[in-house]
Chains A and B, each alone.
Chain A
């Protein structure tokens, strides 16, 4: 039982990281109908920004604010430089542009900061707490807490605020939203900013656990992408549930079946969903028009 609880905690912790990155995928997909393959690199860039600020001697909270502000700026640049010029084309050029941007981002950081992985201290001085037989890593606790808060915030933001409703309208039907006087390009700009900040938040939160390296983003993004498909592409709740499910499944699979094939379980689940329920857990079946 102790073992199960420990595995469950870790599984949810790592799943929450996938969920945070997956959320960024979903928001951009809803607004623009394209998958942003640079979402993982957003996490990596934010973690490096944080390291730079902390090394510069700034307080942790201020570094955090600056890093997230930097991500918001990156969201603006990304929208203007990668999405906006290609917005009238089909989804394919945009997707390829995001892949190009992800390579550009990781190589830019490599060129500026070098290949050395960096250590970022966690938010708390205490590394964790022992709760009976289960050890709770303080950073994972923070990640889980932030994920819960974000779920609540997203619900409030998209369902209760005018801006959230405008964003939803834009993602559902751009032409209709435009006819109703909503500035579609502004809404898409806001989505990119929000997604970049979310990706950045995930990177900063996970950095003390996984260290800060050029590859950190791509490793998480691959799993987050799988989580998005499992949850149902385009569904906010689906991204969260998909991420958590993936984290728990791979942790238990590793413990009880095989550690070397840990990543295999995640992708087996992905394949099973693609075959038997391609719309994901929360997605609605979409019928092609004749």
Chain B
């Protein structure tokens, strides 16, 4: 056989490249990679750390139990800077790594909204914690939510305030970002259905240094109960202190940030006696209790929803890939949607066709700085 110069060169090149290619193929197949966009810097860096803690705790459990499809699972973290452009950049960096099989997105609706068009383009499952109902109701098949959406939080806040506390004159204060606007709208709708339309609907811009005009508007409205959707705990802390200083002491039922660990620490006594809907309440179930214990043992701090949803997301995603028997995005999607009656730290997961896993909330109370579980309200529709 006569070898031409061209064939010789091609063979030589292939021979030289083969070890490198094989090594890269081996490296790609050694672990199952999950990408995570999370704030490492920016206003939510603290919460970002807790999200990483929750995800890593679940990851350790999954790997200890044999991993996924017989391989160990690896988390690839990218900083979303707590901004919309930041998460778009972080997601595109992760999406460029073709061996990442699925992703964890943000707990902030506005960030999920920003990355959503790219999620469709990439066509791989993304677990999210953002609670704006539209996120999973806008025809994006790749978003899966591991917290109850704001339709439920609005309904639970309204139901608890009206039926349990017996209050009908509501003032609503909400952030004007995607999360706050959707939450305020959901609460208004729920209250209107219960025959108690709000007397005040007051938006505010994030990162405000002063809430005096908002507090005075609440005071002047004559409301006897307050419903809130705050995005950042810093804002909530300033608002809570000014609210009490200016003499507003009406009952307050708020979105999860009211009972978050940072808010409780920052606002101190100003939040005593407030109620919050919480997707995570440590005393609400056995799984929540055991997650709480493991989290405390590992990180010496109290867990909250910031760490509970990534914990559930990694656990359920890993189980779904195992069940699908493949890392094919469509098969993983079908497997997640088929997840029913799965007991997670946040509650019982029953995924619907939109990708919503949870359908209710716990109501908890700030009892002199300690968050106490009160009741769980679930909806079937």
Task: Tell me the A residues contacting B by CB distance below 8 Å.
Answer: 3, 6-7, 10, 14, 17, 107, 110, 114-117, 119, 127-128, 135, 137, 209-211, 213-215, 219-220, 251, 254-255, 259-263
Contact = CB atoms under 8 A, between A and B. Distances in A.
Contacts, number: 84
B233 interface: yes
Interface in B199-253: 202-205, 207-210, 212-214, 216-217, 220, 233-234, 237-238, 245-247
A7 B216 CA distance: 9
B46 A251 contact: no
Contacts of B202: 259
Given A211-B237, A259-B204, A262-B208, A135 B45 contact: no
A3 B218 CA distance: 12
Nearest to B173: A259
B41 interface: yes
A117 B46 contact: yes
Contacts of A219: 207, 209
Contact of B238 (A127, A211, A220, A254): A211
Interface in B256-275: 262, 265-266, 268
A281 B119 CA distance: 50
Nearest to B44: A115
B43 A128 contact: no
A3 B176 contact: no
A117 B263 CA distance: 10
Contact of B266 (A17, A115, A119): A119
Contacts of B338: none
A110 B207 contact: no
A259 B213 contact: yes
Interface in B38-90: 41-43, 45-46, 48-49
B212 A6 contact: yes
17 contacts: A7-B212, A7-B216, A107-B41, A114-B46, A114-B49, A115-B46, A127-B245, A209-B238, A211-B237, A213-B234, A215-B42, A215-B43, A254-B213, A255-B212, A255-B216, A260-B204, A262-B205
Contacts of B176: 260
Contacts of B208: 262
Contacts of A115: 41, 45-46, 48-49
Contacts of B205: 259-263
B238 A7 contact: no
B43 A213 contact: yes
Contacts of B268: 119
Contacts of B212: 6-7, 10, 251, 255
Contacts of A255: 212-213, 216-217
A213 B232 CA distance: 12
Contacts of B43: 213, 215
Contacts of B41: 107, 110, 115, 214
A10 B212 CA distance: 7
Count chain B CB atoms within 10 A of each CB in A209, A220, A262 and give the residue with the most.
Answer: A262
B164 to A, nearest CB: 30
A214 B212 CA distance: 23
Contact of B209 (A107, A210, A214): A210
Contacts of B262: 116-117
B49 A117 contact: no
B238 A135 contact: no
Of A6, A117, A209, A263, which is in contact with the most chain B CB atoms at under 10 Å from its CB?
A: A117
Interface in B174-219: 176, 202-205, 207-210, 212-214, 216-217
Contacts of B46: 114-117
A259 B266 CA distance: 23
Interface string B82-121: 0000000000000000000000000000000000000000
A251 B213 CA distance: 7
Nearest to B48: A115
Nearest to B233: A117
Nearest to B204: A259
Contacts of B203: 259-260
A213 B42 CA distance: 10
A211 B202 CA distance: 24
